[in-house]
Amino acid sequence: MINAFDSFIQKLKPQLISWRRELHQQPELGFLEYQTTYKIGKELEKLGFSIHIGKDAVKSKSRYGVPPKHELQRAETQALDNGVPQEWMDLMKGGHTGLAATWDTKKEGPHLAFRFDIDALPILEASDSDHQPYADKFSSKLEGLMHACGHDGHASIGLGLAHLTAHFKEQLSGKFTFLFQPAEEGGRGAKAMTDLGWLEDVDQFYSGHIGINSLPVGTIAAVTKGFLASSKLNVTFSGQSSHAGMKPEDGRNALLAAATTATQLHAIPRHSEGVSRVNVGKLVAGAGRNIIADSGYLEIETRGESKPINSFMQQEAKRIIQSSASMYDVSVDIEFVGETETITCDDSLIPMIQEHCQHSSWINHIHPVANVSGSEDASFMMNAVQAHGGQATYMLFGTHLPSNHHSPAFDFDEEVLPVALAAYAHVLRGGNTQ
């Protein structure tokens, strides 16, 4: 079965790359992944999976940071224009993107779940000759949007695992749930799937990431340590505009409140009990050089090695935001738009992953543990599985990284796609073959 799985992956490799490139050209932001969801869903339908979309996949009220109505409507119109059927759009309407796919072999065995994130980022992709997507003509077709974190690869890996599952269905036992999750960026989508109950009877949960650490292709890590709890805040200051030359005293400057917030947030003392982070990722303010600015908008995040540390950072951030508003006599609205929890992978899965993956021709080296420092909303899914007595891990799949994640020149070596698929496949094989 090891050789049979590896041979199947070899045959599927060109398709993995093709899926990745198609998805890369059509990036969609969180809760706007209408075309991506449809493409994935139709592929899974052909294989015989039971698919669940719209409010059958995500709990509407548990979504964080849903885009405003005009952005939803624009994306929905574009999806219709690009061939997504009206019946699919009716189910996904209002940002209910992503899907769950299930396969029940009707034979006794464990229930395994796999998570694949599908959203992109608001980044203008590089157009340099040494950027492979540009050189090979599969760059983003949407200016200002880009798959700059590898989620196009993750989705193609998920499709590959679905094809493998269907092909070897007679040799498999147990149940499988594949979660193609919307809105991972900003910690916005996983809770909406978790709260709908998809993880309640899962015995083992697997997710992972291409890259993060720059490692040789063929290297995987069985578990990761170091993911941080985080919180995401959108902050809007509202003041009073006035003529900057004739009546500056009548203005209340929201731009200065926003700028003060941006600088002072980085003065929050770091926590003695662990890693802590704060970042202002976006600031927009004012209308013109001769107008006292009546508006200021910031997108902010805090992170902490533990929930208490992140809570400290969030509380201090809010205190500074409120103080800045008071200083400039403006009002402020703080919107909570996303969060992640800490992750504790089950070390008990390490020997199992090593045992089932070490003989694959695709996998050259297995690190028991990889250290990271980002955040992941798969934390909600993992913690839900563990709360019910199951096991969960978050893996890494090695690749050279020509540029950082979330940068315009981000890319990965496409040879990692069959490696990551092999890792998931052999985990699946080990627990479910007869």
Q: Bridge partners of 134?
A: none
| pLDDT (0 to 100) of residue 430 | 76
Q: Return the pLDDT at 1.
A: 85
Single out the residue of 345, 343, 358, 350 nearest to residue 423, CA to CA.
358
pLDDT digits 0-9 by tens, 89-99: 999 999 999 99
User: Which tokens sit at 219?
Assistant: 């290297």
Whether the model clears a pTM of 0.85, i.e. scores above it, the answer is yes
From the number of C-beta atoms within 10 Å of its C-beta (0-12, 13-18, 19+), residue 405 rates as middle
Domains of the chain as residue ranges with CATH: 2-227+343-432 (3.40.630.10), 229-340 (3.30.70.360)
> Residue 431's pLDDT is what?
64
Order of strands, edge to edge, in the sheet holding 391-399?
50-53, 99-104, 175-181, 111-117, 204-214, 391-399, 219-225, 365-371
CA distance linking residue 231 with residue 248, whole number of Å: 36
Question: What does the pLDDT read at residue 434?
Answer: 44
Instruction: Yes or no: say if 179 and 206 are a contact pair by the CB < 8 Å rule.
Output: no
Sign of the alpha-carbon dihedral angle for 194, 195, 197, 202:
positive
Distance CA 313, CA 309 (A): 6
Cα(64)–Cα(47) distance, integer angstroms: 32
DSSP β-bridge partners for residue 314 = none
DSSP structure class, residue 407: S
Rg (CA), the chain: 23
Q: What residues in the chain have per-residue pLDDT under 70?
A: 431-434
Residue type, 41: G
Find out whether 237 and 296 touch, Cβ atoms under 8 Å: yes
